[in-house]
Amino acid sequence: MPIPKPQSWIRATPSGLYCEPGGFHIDPVQPIERAVITHGHSDHARPGHRRVLATPETIAIMRQRYGEGAGGSLQVAGYGGTVSIGDVSVSLVPAGHILGSAQAVINYRGSRVVVSGDYKRRPDPTCVGFEPQRCDLFITEATFGLPVFRHPPDSHEIEKLLHSVRLYPERCHLVGVYALGKCQRLIALLRAAGYDEPIYLHGALIGRTELYQSFGITLGPLLPCAGLTQDAFKGRIVLAPPAALADRWTRRLPDPVAALASGWMRVKQRAKARGVELPLVISDHADWDELTQTLDDVGAEEIWVTHGREEALVHYATMRGLKARALALTGFGEEEE
């Protein structure tokens, strides 16, 4: 039997990517019969599917966020294990994006498709690193898919923060972080840089952080902000969701230096618009070099780009002699939560 072309058995639908011979969607944006979920961010892991396949960590995140609504039946697949669904086999392979994040590797009659989900290539102490998989069709994100996006080394950004902390012992450093992934990674990066003081957490960050710890991620001393006076925060690092940077919640803090950890901090206007004094370019998405490196590593003849800045990556792939197209899937955010 001839090997089927990937485009004959996987396609983009209004609900999301659909694998015909497996009868499932990947990261569907509407409730459907059967879903394979790449990771726990709320735009990829939505509630209400009848059957869900995901890593144990992603299932735990979905349970924490949605309770009973996480799905009718929840099936766990650890990294590297293979599950048969319909006529295809699926394995979940580390994507290096957040705890439990996975690429979906789908095989059908000798034809192989990899759906990246969100990913990055640089090491992250809070999750398993991206493992490139050879495939015929690679379906990739492109959140930072423009050559201007080149994320600096994480250690450089962390040193910027610690330098500022040393410079202003009377002030507090308030760092905006997404609750799932960025928060825990920032803590782990601070610890890796030798910072062993307690780090203070806004209440909205505590649940996800405890979930990370329950999977064995060590984060050092952490304290809730609740009930403390201004003096307690002098010289300290406080983490809060980005939205809290601009609200009255910050009045409890002594003259806070507003920082924000995001790949978008590369864009100076964004930092300015959000009143960010100390932008930290720390991203859980691949930058331009990581995206193009990944196209080289997977060796696929065809590339589909799901969401983000798609056109430049499509152009790049085409110039390299690959078939490439933008799917322009809707329902996916610019970054976490």
Reading the block at residue 314, the tokens are: 């499509």
The minimum distance between CB 179 and Zn ion, in angstroms, equals 12
How many chain residues bind Zn ion (CB under 5 A)?
A: 3
Q: Which residue among 37, 161, 332, 337 contacts Zn ion (CB under 5 A)?
A: 332
The minimum distance between CB 284 and Zn ion, in angstroms, equals 7
Q: Which residue among 118, 136, 287, 310 contacts Zn ion (CB under 5 A)?
A: 118
d(CA 302, CA 324): 6
Helix (H) or strand (E) holding 115: strand 111-115
DSSP tag of 104: E
Reading the block at residue 96, the tokens are: 């290096």
Binding part of the chain for Zn ion, among 112-120, 168-176, 184-192, 193-201 by CB under 5 A, reads: 112-120
The minimum distance between CB 213 and Zn ion, in angstroms, equals 20
Task: Look at residue 151 and give its three-state secondary structure.
Answer: coil
144 makes contact with Zn ion (CB under 5 A) = no
The minimum distance between CB 188 and Zn ion, in angstroms, equals 17
Which residue, 41 or 46, is less far from Zn ion as judged by CB?
A: 41
- Which among 65, 138, 126, 69 is positioned nearest to 96, based on CA atoms? 126
Q: Which residue among 25, 41, 121, 151 contacts Zn ion (CB under 5 A)?
A: 41
Binding part of the chain for Zn ion, among 22-30, 113-121, 166-174, 254-262 by CB under 5 A, reads: 113-121
The minimum distance between CB 162 and Zn ion, in angstroms, equals 27
Helices (H), the chain: 56-66, 154-167, 182-192, 206-214, 268-273, 288-298, 310-319
173 makes contact with Zn ion (CB under 5 A) = no
d(CA 186, CA 199): 11
